[in-house]
Amino acid sequence: MFFTPPSLPPLGFDLDWIHVVGSVPSQGEAKLLDGRSFEISYRHGWLKLTWIEPPPQAEAGSVFFERAVGPEYDGCITAGQLGELLGLRLRGLPLLIGSAGDRKATDATSDLSGRTTYWTAHALLTAADAEALLARLGRRFPGIAVLSLVTQHDAGGDPIGFQWERVREPSIAAGHHSLALLPAMPDSLERAAIGAALDRGGVQFRAGWHLRTRRAFNHRLTVGSRSYDRSGVFPTVFSGQFLRSEAAGSAFVHGIAEVLEAYCSCRVVLFDLASGEVVRAEENPRMRHGPDYATWFHQADDRLLGEHQDESGRWFGCRPA
């Protein structure tokens, strides 16, 4: 999914104070000069504002603003970003990024100005799928390199930041830069990226992914007389971003999305877990899967890609078509 933060009509609030802390979610409160106050919550790209001291026509606890303003997994926002996004003022002055009342932005803070477009996608992959996907990306972009996120340390050995470094000989089977599912490290969360050999103004275009092993917390689900295996349902999360003004960055991230979509399938079958009866087939981008993953999945009859329960208590599951 591609997402560009929206341009919103200003709320026109003039604040007495605002306090925003934390990440995933960022939370806080703000009070207007007229005495009204509201609570702030920002998680998974969704901003929610809830009245604490409401105007006469509203009730305390009522939500007066809720919508997606950031990328899917974003959870860090500053007062200055809120000010620019919602047209807020602080004691008569525009509340802007870097102005009084704003906390310092970090590397975890996304650009919510609308100048940057973000992309996220999900896929269930085996090591063979990861290797095949990497080969296809190499054919599409001959200049790409595998990058590894390396921790930087100061002279005393304390961590001070991160840097993406090119991996000389990328390994698909093992290593901290692995583009694979690692059965030898069941609790690992690997981080890697694919970087383009493009450099404009010192900016390197990147799109990366996190990879997890096949493991679920409660991997068995019993419905009636049938029991199902939910292991193997941790998806790989792909992400990328580019400045809308940079055609090369846009082409690179869109190209990675196209390679992923061409290699994987989103086609799944929805069925009744109690009876096994097929309900329908559908396209579900959240259940995108590689061909080798589908082969592994169909080696057993009791595996599930996902499940949900409707209001009547009936359980449904899905599997690759």
Same-domain status, 174 and 290: yes
Could you tell me if residue 220 is inside a domain? yes
H/E element, 262: helix 247-263
Same-domain status, 38 and 62: yes
The first and second tokens of residue 307, run together, are 């499940």
Of 242, 129, 265, 248, the closest CA to residue 197 belongs to: 248
Q: How many domains does the chain divide into?
A: 2
SS3 300: coil
- Long-range contacts: 180-183, Cβ < 8 Å, 24+? 180/127, 180/130, 180/131, 180/211, 181/125, 181/126, 181/127, 181/130, 181/211, 181/212, 181/213, 181/214, 182/211, 182/213, 183/213, 183/214
Residue pair 211/173 in contact by the 8 Å Cβ criterion: no
DSSP 137-163: HHHH-TT-EEEEEEEEE-TTS-EEEEE
Same-domain status, 60 and 135: no
Q: Per-residue pLDDT for 127 more than 90?
A: no
Q: Could you say which of 44, 76, 107 is where a domain stops?
A: 107
Q: Could you say which of 61, 81, 107 is where a domain stops?
A: 107
| Residue count of the chain | 321
Same-domain status, 48 and 184: no
Greater pLDDT, 257 or 234: 257
Could you tell me if residue 73 is inside a domain? yes
Q: Could you say which of 107, 141, 168 is where a domain stops?
A: 107
Q: Per-residue pLDDT for 187 more than 50?
A: no
Same-domain status, 81 and 215: no
Same-domain status, 96 and 122: no
Instruction: Find the mean pLDDT for residues 14-40.
Output: 93
Range of the domain at 56: 2-107
- What is the reported pLDDT for 301? 83
Q: Which residues of 149-165 are buried (b: 16+ CB within 10 A; e: fewer)?
A: eeeeeeeeeeeeeeebe
Give me the helix-helix angle, 247-263 and 127-140, nearest 10°: 140
- What is the reported pLDDT for 121? 86
What is the side-by-side strand order in the sheet with 26-32? 63-68, 46-53, 37-43, 26-32, 14-21, 89-90, 93-94
Same-domain status, 209 and 272: yes
Comparing 1-5, 114-118, 232-236, 297-301, which segment has the lowest mean pLDDT?
Answer: 232-236
Could you tell me if residue 112 is inside a domain? no
Could you tell me if residue 101 is inside a domain? yes
Same-domain status, 137 and 89: no
Same-domain status, 278 and 150: yes
Could you tell me if residue 26 is inside a domain? yes
Same-domain status, 133 and 97: no
Could you tell me if residue 35 is inside a domain? yes
pLDDT band at 246 (very low <50, low <70, confident <90, very high): confident
Could you tell me if residue 305 is inside a domain? yes
Q: Model confidence over 267-305: pLDDT tens digits?
A: 999 999 988 899 999 999 988 999 988 998 888 888 888
Could you tell me if residue 210 is inside a domain? yes
Same-domain status, 123 and 64: no
Comparing 2-11, 51-60, 132-141, 169-178, which segment has the lowest mean pLDDT?
Answer: 169-178
Q: Per-residue pLDDT for 199 more than 60?
A: no
CA 176 to chain centre: 21
Q: Model confidence over 131-170: pLDDT tens digits?
A: 788 788 878 877 666 655 567 778 888 777 766 566 554 4
